[in-house]
Amino acid sequence: MHGYKDYTLKAKLNSFNAIEDELSRLNALFVGTDKQTDYYFQVAKGKLKLRQGTIENLITHYERIPENGIEKTIVYRYEKNPSVEEIESLKESRNIIGKVEKQRKIYWLENVKIHLDKMDDGQQFIEIEAIDVSNRFTENDLKEQCFDIKSKLAINDEDVIRTGYLPPPYNTPQA
């Protein structure tokens, strides 16, 4: 997707309480809690995902490349609110390789989107995603935004993990 830049980091959490308190103190915009079901489809490169949620609905094909504790996102396709026909076409043309269900609390701090994810098994995670769709920021700016919010939210380095919820072999760096 031309003009789209994104850097993301993800970490394990024991509780949302301290994070939510700090997000409130930082005046983050709380969008709501999204009940999401993500379907992943077989592709040669990256991940192809259909998200069906109570807030977010999309089809996206992307790849995340690790860069020193953070991941650069390369987006090949991004369609918000796909039509029934687009969804059916995707399901008919590709094999589903995984399904992930979660509750996602969505926050924004300017151009940075923060997800607090609770999985059905009770595990909790945070994703910090610095996004630029209008070419206002350099890649270094976006990286710094992620690391700055990580610091403000007191996320420990040892809790940072790779993004994604698919089990191996699908949630591994692409060759």
What is the band of 167 on the pLDDT scale with cuts at 50, 70, 90? low
Contacts of 59 (CB under 8 A, 6+ apart): 48, 49, 50, 51, 77, 78, 79, 82, 86, 87, 90
In this prediction, residues 34-57 reach a mean pLDDT of 97
Tell me the pTM.
0.91
What is the band of 166 on the pLDDT scale with cuts at 50, 70, 90? confident
Distance CA 48, CA 78 (A): 10
Q: What is the CATH number of domain 5-161?
A: 2.40.320.10
In this prediction, residues 5-21 reach a mean pLDDT of 96
What would the two tokens of residue 91 be?
């399901």
Q: What pLDDT digit, counting tens, does each position of 111-163 carry? A: 999 999 999 999 999 999 999 999 999 999 999 999 999 999 999 999 999 88
What is the band of 168 on the pLDDT scale with cuts at 50, 70, 90? low
Cα dihedral 120/90/84/131 (nearest 10): 60
Question: What's the confidence (pLDDT) of residue 2?
Answer: 59
Q: What pLDDT digit, counting tens, does each position of 90-105 carry? A: 999 999 999 999 999 9
Question: What are the structural domain ranges in the chain?
Answer: 5-161
